[in-house]
Chain A
Amino acid sequence: MLDKRMTPAEIVGQLQDGMTLGIGGWGPRRKPMALVREILRSDLKDLTVVAYGGADVGMLCAAGKVKKLVFAFVSLDAIPLEPWFRKAREAGQIEVLELDEGMFQWGLKAAAFGLPFLPTRVGLGTDLAELGGLKTVQSPYPDGEVLIAMPALKLDAALLHVNRSDWRGNVHLFGPDVYYDEWFARAAAKTYVSCEELVDRMEDHYPQDAQANIVERAFISGVTELPGGAHPSSMPPAYGWDMKAFKAYADAAKDPGDWAAVRDRFVGASEAEYLATFGGKEAVAALPLPIF
């Protein structure tokens, strides 16, 4: 099917209990939050989530959707410790595979290339290998070096929020940093993207921006238009993060501390209702870009 347009509910309908799900972005940046919210509105459960984590991970943990988490950090930057993730961890609620940030992308690349593992020095001399059951491998060349065999992080599906797409899945990613979004896509059997702007035929609209097509459409299985879909995370150049919303979300982990009591506020019955709570698409589009 060359026309890859789907509704968010149809995308989530493609996912199954127990799947390994990669989520693009980095901490509070470029997160496909609208698709995550759609998961939170569904019955999906027992997920293995693979992410450079932010509120996506915090919310999925809080809602009890996560069986296992593969992570290097979970953080909201200005709120360094993601409170809902902490709660889940300190309750012993989730299994984890903790990795270094660089090993993590190495595992995505191994999956993308269909390799069982890629060797690395990273992890040696730390507790990661023992805690994560990571094995070593020895170089067959005269150096004989012993390395960690970083296993492929094969994803059943990946979710990304991108700046633009056409209905064939020709995506454009902008912003100062697109992190490892392209490798999530290549590591996944299926990748579903939400976008700020859906166009008909990319070549008719933005041929001058083709270099922003950092991952090829063969890796994109579904597309949906969700302007403001990264909120409350940042989506440069369209909008910055909503630190006020993050703060309210973080504070709610202490008071009332119960996800069921605040779920409606941070997820909403529909995406339109959610965005309306935060002033609508226009208010999201007006959020200033973060300064580091």
Chain B
Amino acid sequence: MGDVTLAELCIFACSEAFRSNGEIVATGVGPVPRIAAGLAKLTHTPELMMTDGEAYLVEQPVPLGPRGYDDRKAAGYLPFSRFFDAAVWSGRRHAMVTPTQIDRFGQINLSQLGGTHKQPKTQMLGVRGFPGNTIYHPNSFFFPGHTARVFVGGEVDMVSGVGYNPAKRVAGGNYSAVDLRRIVTNLCVMDFGGPDHAIRVVSLHPGVSFAEVQEATGFELIDAVAGETPLPDAEALDIIARLDPHGVRASVIKDNPPARRTA
């Protein structure tokens, strides 16, 4: 198994976020989360629902990259025009996304960096569906480059997604569905299992130390490391290769390193 890549280990770790989620729409945005959702459906959690990335629900996850337009076999239909009614605002979804910033409260930012709202230093996508996703259904995150520029000290520049920051919560609002689950990075796996949902490191990828993770993070982490992040087994690697026949996963983490660091 010497040739397992770090990206493949991350896919395997991300797929765990969807384990036993039930009949909900699993959405993985970006190559690693998307392959991970497919892997979860094809292994431990077949009841997951997912789209072809456009508008149709499929029971066979569609592979990444070029393929025939009609290769997907639609089993159902979930266009954007029904998405909020049926998946997001009903809570029947778990999304795994890659925001630009995240803070100690799990607040995320995809909209802008620096400057003011009138004149941001760097304009990014906009908040997209993050405000709705985070108040209505479970969310997990994948970051291919774990640095203190992503895991920021203080708070994110613009709060695009709800976290566990008590100061941000308007009294009387219903936050019962805020449910941040798992964070997978190129260094470790984390969750929100600390006191008041503080972020904990729960496993380290092979050869990574807690100190290294802490060094790359702008806020204090809880050391709840229970062991090494497991490597994908042969069955998982086979499915990953099928879901990503063009090898897009090799471009996700800088230099596409192996899962086990070489000295």
Spell out A's residues near B (CB within 8 Å): 26, 53, 71-75, 80-81, 85-86, 89-92, 95-96, 98-103, 105-106, 121-129, 131, 136, 138, 144-147, 176-180, 182, 288-289, 291-292
Contacts and interface: CB of A to CB of B under 8 A. Distances in A.
A176 B126 contact: no
Contacts of A90: 115, 119-123
Given A127-B160, A145-B172, A177-B55, A85 B123 contact: yes
A124 B135 CA distance: 8
Contacts of B88: 102
B184 to A, nearest CB: 21
A124 B129 contact: no
Interface centre among A53, A101, A129, A138 (most CB of B within 10 A): A101
A178 to B, nearest CB: 6
A25 B14 CA distance: 32
Interface centre among A72, A103, A124 (most CB of B within 10 A): A124
Interface string B108-139: 00011001111111111111111110111000
A100 to B, nearest CB: 4
Nearest to A237: B69
Interface centre among A102, A106, A136, A176 (most CB of B within 10 A): A102
Contacts of B158: 127, 131
A100 B79 contact: no
A144 B172 CA distance: 7
Given A74-B126, A121-B136, A124-B135, A179 B80 contact: yes
B66 interface: yes
Given A90-B121, A146-B170, A289-B69, A125 B163 contact: yes
A121 B171 CA distance: 12
B125 A81 contact: yes
A126 B172 contact: no
6 contacts: A75-B125, A90-B115, A102-B84, A102-B129, A124-B175, A145-B173
Contacts of B173: 121, 124-125, 136, 145-147
A291 B135 contact: no
B59 interface: no
B172 A102 contact: no
Contacts of A101: 84, 128-129, 132
B161 interface: yes
Contact of B117 (A71, A81, A131, A179): A131
Contacts of A106: 84
A146 B161 CA distance: 18
B40 to A, nearest CB: 19
Contacts of A179: 79-81
B159 interface: yes
Give the top 3 A-B pairs by smallest Cβ distance, nearest first.
A92-B119, A292-B53, A146-B172
B62 to A, nearest CB: 8
Nearest to B52: A292
Given A126-B159, A126-B161, A178-B81, A71 B135 contact: no
Given A144-B172, A146-B171, A179-B79, 4 more contacts: A73-B127, A86-B123, A138-B172, A146-B172
Contact of B129 (A75, A100, A128): A100
B178 A125 contact: yes
Contact of A291 (B69, B115, B121): B69
B127 A128 contact: yes
Contacts of A138: 172
Interface string B70-110: 00000000011100100011000000000000000000000
B69 A176 contact: no
Contacts of A180: 80-81
Contacts of B118: 92, 95-96
